[in-house]
Chains A and B, each alone.
Chain A
Amino acid sequence: QVQLVQSGPEVKKPGASVKVSCKASGYTFSTYDISWVRQAPGQGLEWMGWISPYKGNTNYAQKFQGRVTMTTDTSTSTAYMELRSLTSDDTAVYYCAGGTNFDYWGQGTLVTVSS
Protein backbone atom coordinates (compact mmCIF):
# COMPACT_ATOMS: atom_id res chain seq x y z
CA GLN A 1 0.00 0.00 0.00
CA VAL A 2 1.08 3.57 -0.60
CA GLN A 3 2.84 5.11 2.40
CA LEU A 4 4.49 8.45 3.01
CA VAL A 5 6.63 8.48 6.15
CA GLN A 6 7.98 11.79 7.37
CA SER A 7 10.94 12.63 9.55
CA GLY A 8 10.59 13.34 13.24
CA PRO A 9 9.79 16.52 15.17
CA GLU A 10 12.21 19.42 15.07
CA VAL A 11 12.93 22.32 17.41
CA LYS A 12 14.70 25.27 15.85
CA LYS A 13 15.78 28.73 16.90
CA PRO A 14 14.61 31.82 15.02
CA GLY A 15 16.70 32.42 11.93
CA ALA A 16 17.60 28.75 11.51
CA SER A 17 16.59 26.37 8.72
CA VAL A 18 14.72 23.07 8.82
CA LYS A 19 14.65 20.23 6.32
CA VAL A 20 11.76 17.77 6.50
CA SER A 21 11.85 14.48 4.63
CA CYS A 22 9.01 12.37 3.22
CA LYS A 23 9.89 8.80 2.22
CA ALA A 24 7.52 7.09 -0.19
CA SER A 25 6.86 3.39 -0.53
CA GLY A 26 4.33 1.09 -2.15
CA TYR A 27 4.41 2.74 -5.57
CA THR A 28 6.77 4.01 -8.25
CA PHE A 29 8.04 7.29 -6.81
CA SER A 30 7.91 9.24 -10.05
CA THR A 31 4.20 8.45 -10.47
CA TYR A 32 2.83 10.93 -7.96
CA ASP A 33 3.57 14.60 -7.55
CA ILE A 34 4.35 15.71 -3.99
CA SER A 35 2.81 18.74 -2.34
CA TRP A 36 3.69 20.26 0.99
CA VAL A 37 1.01 21.64 3.28
CA ARG A 38 1.39 23.12 6.74
CA GLN A 39 -0.97 23.66 9.64
CA ALA A 40 -0.25 26.10 12.44
CA PRO A 41 -1.62 25.19 15.89
CA GLY A 42 -5.42 25.40 15.87
CA GLN A 43 -5.45 26.74 12.31
CA GLY A 44 -6.40 25.51 8.84
CA LEU A 45 -4.40 24.00 6.02
CA GLU A 46 -1.93 26.11 4.05
CA TRP A 47 -0.48 24.96 0.72
CA MET A 48 3.25 25.66 0.47
CA GLY A 49 4.24 24.22 -2.86
CA TRP A 50 4.56 21.28 -5.24
CA ILE A 51 7.24 19.23 -6.89
CA SER A 52 7.15 16.70 -9.69
CA PRO A 53 9.55 13.84 -8.91
CA TYR A 54 9.48 12.90 -12.61
CA LYS A 55 10.73 16.21 -14.01
CA GLY A 56 11.85 18.08 -10.92
CA ASN A 57 9.51 20.98 -11.70
CA THR A 58 8.41 23.03 -8.73
CA ASN A 59 5.76 25.61 -7.93
CA TYR A 60 5.89 27.53 -4.66
CA ALA A 61 3.32 29.69 -2.94
CA GLN A 62 4.36 33.31 -3.29
CA LYS A 63 4.41 33.63 0.50
CA PHE A 64 7.33 31.20 0.67
CA GLN A 65 9.20 32.18 -2.50
CA GLY A 66 12.89 32.65 -1.75
CA ARG A 67 12.63 30.91 1.58
CA VAL A 68 11.61 27.36 0.63
CA THR A 69 13.22 24.69 -1.51
CA MET A 70 11.56 21.42 -2.43
CA THR A 71 13.62 18.57 -3.83
CA THR A 72 13.40 14.86 -4.46
CA ASP A 73 15.88 11.99 -4.45
CA THR A 74 14.57 9.32 -6.77
CA SER A 75 17.25 6.86 -5.66
CA THR A 76 15.71 6.74 -2.18
CA SER A 77 12.11 7.69 -3.11
CA THR A 78 12.30 10.64 -0.75
CA ALA A 79 11.02 14.19 -1.03
CA TYR A 80 12.44 17.05 0.98
CA MET A 81 11.19 20.47 2.02
CA GLU A 82 13.68 22.99 3.37
CA LEU A 83 12.45 26.21 4.96
CA ARG A 84 14.94 28.92 5.88
CA SER A 85 14.97 32.03 8.07
CA LEU A 86 12.48 30.53 10.48
CA THR A 87 10.34 32.66 12.77
CA SER A 88 7.83 31.74 15.45
CA ASP A 89 5.11 32.04 12.79
CA ASP A 90 6.59 28.94 11.12
CA THR A 91 5.70 26.77 14.11
CA ALA A 92 3.37 24.22 12.55
CA VAL A 93 2.82 20.64 11.52
CA TYR A 94 4.21 20.12 8.04
CA TYR A 95 2.65 17.49 5.79
CA CYS A 96 3.67 15.97 2.50
CA ALA A 97 0.86 14.79 0.26
CA GLY A 98 1.21 12.59 -2.81
CA GLY A 99 -0.92 12.53 -5.92
CA THR A 100 -2.74 15.02 -8.10
CA ASN A 101 -5.68 15.00 -5.71
CA PHE A 102 -3.57 14.93 -2.53
CA ASP A 103 -4.57 11.28 -2.34
CA TYR A 104 -1.97 10.16 0.18
CA TRP A 105 -0.61 12.02 3.19
CA GLY A 106 2.35 11.67 5.47
CA GLN A 107 1.81 11.59 9.21
CA GLY A 108 3.04 15.15 9.65
CA THR A 109 6.17 16.65 11.18
CA LEU A 110 5.91 19.16 14.01
CA VAL A 111 8.38 22.01 13.63
CA THR A 112 8.66 24.27 16.65
CA VAL A 113 10.50 27.57 16.35
CA SER A 114 11.42 29.02 19.70
CA SER A 115 14.28 30.93 21.24
Chain B
Amino acid sequence: EIVLTQSPATLSLSPGERATLSCRASQSVGSYFAWFQQKPGQAPRLLIYDASNRATGIPARFSGSGSGTDFTLTISSLEPEDFAVYYCQQRSNWPRTFGQGTKVEIK
Protein backbone atom coordinates (compact mmCIF):
# COMPACT_ATOMS: atom_id res chain seq x y z
CA GLU B 1 0.00 0.00 0.00
CA ILE B 2 1.19 3.51 -0.82
CA VAL B 3 1.66 5.62 2.29
CA LEU B 4 1.10 9.36 2.00
CA THR B 5 2.84 11.55 4.58
CA GLN B 6 1.63 15.12 4.95
CA SER B 7 3.57 17.97 6.50
CA PRO B 8 3.25 19.91 8.60
CA ALA B 9 0.52 18.44 10.79
CA THR B 10 -0.64 21.93 11.69
CA LEU B 11 -0.02 25.24 9.97
CA SER B 12 -0.75 28.41 11.93
CA LEU B 13 -1.17 31.41 9.66
CA SER B 14 -3.02 34.70 9.41
CA PRO B 15 -5.57 35.67 6.74
CA GLY B 16 -3.77 37.01 3.68
CA GLU B 17 -0.70 34.87 4.21
CA ARG B 18 0.51 32.17 1.84
CA ALA B 19 0.04 28.53 2.83
CA THR B 20 2.25 25.74 1.53
CA LEU B 21 1.23 22.17 2.31
CA SER B 22 3.29 19.12 1.38
CA CYS B 23 2.56 15.47 0.76
CA ARG B 24 5.10 12.74 0.06
CA ALA B 25 4.22 9.32 -1.33
CA SER B 26 6.12 6.15 -0.39
CA GLN B 27 6.39 5.30 -4.10
CA SER B 28 5.62 7.07 -7.35
CA VAL B 29 1.97 7.82 -8.07
CA GLY B 30 2.63 9.70 -11.31
CA SER B 31 0.11 12.51 -11.44
CA TYR B 32 -2.79 10.46 -10.05
CA PHE B 33 -3.02 12.69 -7.05
CA ALA B 34 -5.65 14.89 -5.44
CA TRP B 35 -6.18 17.38 -2.63
CA PHE B 36 -9.33 17.72 -0.55
CA GLN B 37 -10.55 20.30 1.93
CA GLN B 38 -12.70 19.38 4.90
CA LYS B 39 -14.43 21.72 7.32
CA PRO B 40 -15.91 20.59 10.65
CA GLY B 41 -19.15 18.67 10.22
CA GLN B 42 -18.88 18.67 6.44
CA ALA B 43 -17.94 16.14 3.80
CA PRO B 44 -14.58 16.56 2.09
CA ARG B 45 -14.49 18.70 -1.04
CA LEU B 46 -12.28 18.05 -4.05
CA LEU B 47 -9.89 20.95 -4.67
CA ILE B 48 -7.21 19.62 -7.03
CA TYR B 49 -7.12 16.52 -9.20
CA ASP B 50 -4.38 14.99 -11.34
CA ALA B 51 -1.87 16.91 -9.21
CA SER B 52 -2.46 20.35 -10.67
CA ASN B 53 -5.99 20.72 -12.04
CA ARG B 54 -8.47 22.78 -10.07
CA ALA B 55 -11.87 21.19 -9.64
CA THR B 56 -14.98 22.99 -10.79
CA GLY B 57 -15.67 26.12 -8.79
CA ILE B 58 -12.37 26.15 -6.90
CA PRO B 59 -10.85 29.63 -6.62
CA ALA B 60 -7.61 30.41 -8.42
CA ARG B 61 -5.79 31.04 -5.11
CA PHE B 62 -5.58 27.24 -4.76
CA SER B 63 -2.88 25.58 -6.85
CA GLY B 64 -1.29 22.16 -6.90
CA SER B 65 2.07 21.01 -8.17
CA GLY B 66 4.33 17.98 -8.21
CA SER B 67 4.54 14.53 -9.69
CA GLY B 68 5.97 11.17 -8.74
CA THR B 69 6.39 11.25 -4.98
CA ASP B 70 6.37 14.91 -3.93
CA PHE B 71 3.35 17.18 -4.12
CA THR B 72 2.47 20.66 -2.90
CA LEU B 73 -0.79 22.51 -2.35
CA THR B 74 -0.42 26.28 -2.26
CA ILE B 75 -3.01 28.76 -1.11
CA SER B 76 -1.70 32.08 -2.33
CA SER B 77 -3.55 34.32 0.11
CA LEU B 78 -5.62 32.77 2.87
CA GLU B 79 -9.25 33.78 3.13
CA PRO B 80 -11.18 33.23 6.39
CA GLU B 81 -13.07 30.32 4.81
CA ASP B 82 -9.82 28.48 3.97
CA PHE B 83 -9.07 27.52 7.56
CA ALA B 84 -9.79 23.80 7.49
CA VAL B 85 -8.14 20.39 7.27
CA TYR B 86 -6.55 19.36 3.98
CA TYR B 87 -6.00 15.80 2.82
CA CYS B 88 -3.96 14.43 -0.04
CA GLN B 89 -4.95 11.24 -1.85
CA GLN B 90 -3.55 8.94 -4.52
CA ARG B 91 -5.47 6.94 -7.10
CA SER B 92 -2.47 5.39 -8.82
CA ASN B 93 -2.69 2.07 -7.00
CA TRP B 94 -5.15 -0.03 -5.05
CA PRO B 95 -5.95 0.55 -2.29
CA ARG B 96 -6.60 4.24 -2.70
CA THR B 97 -4.99 6.00 0.23
CA PHE B 98 -5.21 9.34 2.00
CA GLY B 99 -2.66 11.31 3.93
CA GLN B 100 -3.27 11.95 7.61
CA GLY B 101 -4.24 15.58 7.04
CA THR B 102 -2.85 19.06 7.61
CA LYS B 103 -4.85 21.46 9.72
CA VAL B 104 -4.60 25.09 8.66
CA GLU B 105 -5.53 27.18 11.67
CA ILE B 106 -5.79 30.87 12.39
CA LYS B 107 -2.71 32.27 14.08
Contacts and interface: CB of A to CB of B under 8 A. Distances in A.
B44 A101 contact: no
B89 A102 contact: yes
Nearest to B1: A62
A35 interface: yes
B55 A103 contact: yes
A59 B97 CA distance: 13
B94 A105 contact: no
Nearest to A35: B96
A101 B55 contact: yes
**Range class of the B interface residue count:** 20 to 34
Interface stretch (A42-50, A69-77, A81-89): A42-50
6 contacts: A44-B98, A59-B94, A95-B43, A101-B49, A102-B46, A106-B43
B87 interface: yes
A42 B36 CA distance: 17
Nearest to A63: B95
Contacts, number: 49
B91 A105 contact: no
Interface of B: 34, 36, 38, 43-46, 49-50, 55, 87, 89, 91, 94-101
Contacts of B89: 45, 102
Interface in A29-49: 35, 37, 44-47
A16 interface: no
B9 to A, nearest CB: 11
**Range class of the A interface residue count:** 20 to 34
Contacts of B43: 95, 105-108
Contacts of A100: 91
Nearest to B96: A47
Interface string A42-70: 00111100100000000101100000000
A105 B98 contact: no
Contact of B44 (A50, A62, A95): A95
A102 B95 contact: no
Contacts of A62: 95
